[in-house]
Amino acid sequence: MPFDIRQLRYAIAAADHGSFYRAARALDVEQSTLSRAILKLERSLGSDLFIRTRAGVTITAIGHQFLGHARLMVINADRMVAITRAAGKGRAGRLTVGFNSSVSAGNLRATLVAARRENPDVDINGVEDDRAALFAGLDSGEIDVAILLGEIARDDYRHASFWSEHVFVAMSKAHALSEREAVNWTDLREQRFVLPTADPGPDIRDMLIGRLWQSGARPDIQLHLVSRETILSLLGETRMLSVTCEGTTGAMFPEVIYIPVHGEQGPALIGYSGYWREDNANPALKRFLAFVRNRHALSFELGAQAMKDGRDIGDGR
């Protein structure tokens, strides 16, 4: 290219101000510097862009045509620099979040919505799958962070507890417990449950077994090879119950209601944890983790990759 962006900026300023002197003052450069740069630009093009007079400068016909294209070039160059800088700070780019639970309500949905709002130039994509597939996605780099129900000891990933959500029991509006504002675990001892075979069904089954066996019950739990949505859509026609997390309660199904579960210490809670690779250098991931940490008042470390130039990229500086 026979010219550079600086020369284009000088020429555009001269055209806008109608004077090399006024353009130089607006750009805070010496008039001689601006004049020489524009003359060099004209020589490289082989055409005059300006007619110089004592009163200032006027644009030639060729100058009008060239500067119209030059403005687009400068705008695109500025946009490219801004996008690159934003991506380097995690404010732009792409982030893939994996999860194995519903996002119709609850903290996971609220966090993803807020993260999109705070970082509108980051393309945040979601992947819902079972735990094994999500960990495989972390290994391959297709997923940046997996947010899972419960907590799994995995030394091959960085992980942290993120938040807790209330546990709910879903049932038909005609069920004997449907008039309750809340149910206790002891109220569920003689009930029959249906859960999906897919995640997080097995985790909820284990939680149910642990809670109900403490009260001497042997829970009747069926696992069906269908989605949670299919189970809930048919629940209104049965006397069976299903247990789910708060994230599911935003989805409405015919004749089905959600009632919170309480234990001895108050509302029953289930935790969510995040998992990511230490060597994932995606700035958008580090910014998202910092956002989660600040939003939920957590204290986990982001890892060595998050610290660049002696500062945390999530601190907004």
List of long-range contacts for 87-90, beta carbons under 8 Å, 24+ apart: 87/283, 87/284, 88/283, 89/283, 89/287, 89/313, 90/119, 90/122, 90/282, 90/283, 90/284, 90/285, 90/286, 90/287, 90/288, 90/313, 90/314
What pLDDT, on a 0 to 100 scale, did the predictor assign at position 61? 93
87's CB contacts (< 8 A; 6+ apart) are: 93, 283, 284
User: What is the token pair recorded at 203?
Assistant: 């985790």
- pLDDT for 256 equals 95
The whole-number pLDDT of residue 262 equals 94
Query: What pLDDT score does 122 carry?
Result: 86
Q: Which DSSP state fits 22?
A: H
Q: Is the peptide bond before 254 cis (omega within 30 degrees of 0)?
A: no
pTM of the predicted model, to two decimals?
0.67
152: exposed, middle or buried (Cβ count in 10 Å: 0-12, 13-18, 19+) = middle
Residues 6+ apart with CB under 8 A from 45: 2, 3, 66
Q: Could you tell me the domains of the chain?
A: 5-88 (1.10.10.10), 92-161+273-315 (3.40.190.10), 164-270 (3.40.190.10)
Q: Say which residue the tokens 């690159």 belong to.
A: 84
What count of other Cβ atoms lies within 10 Å of the Cβ of residue 3? 18
Q: Encode the chain (317 residues) as per-residue pLDDT tens digits.
A: 577 889 999 999 999 999 999 999 999 999 999 999 999 999 999 999 999 998 889 999 999 999 988 988 888 777 666 666 655 554 558 899 999 988 889 999 999 999 999 888 888 899 998 999 999 999 998 999 999 988 887 888 999 999 999 999 999 999 999 999 999 998 998 899 999 998 889 999 998 998 888 777 788 999 999 999 999 999 988 899 999 999 999 999 999 999 999 988 899 999 999 999 998 988 889 889 999 999 999 988 876 444 343 333 333 33
* Angle of the 5-17 helix axis to the 20-27 helix axis, nearest 10: 120
Q: How far is CA 200 from the centre of its chain?
A: 22
Model pLDDT, residue 305: 43
What is the structure's pLDDT at 121? Answer: 80
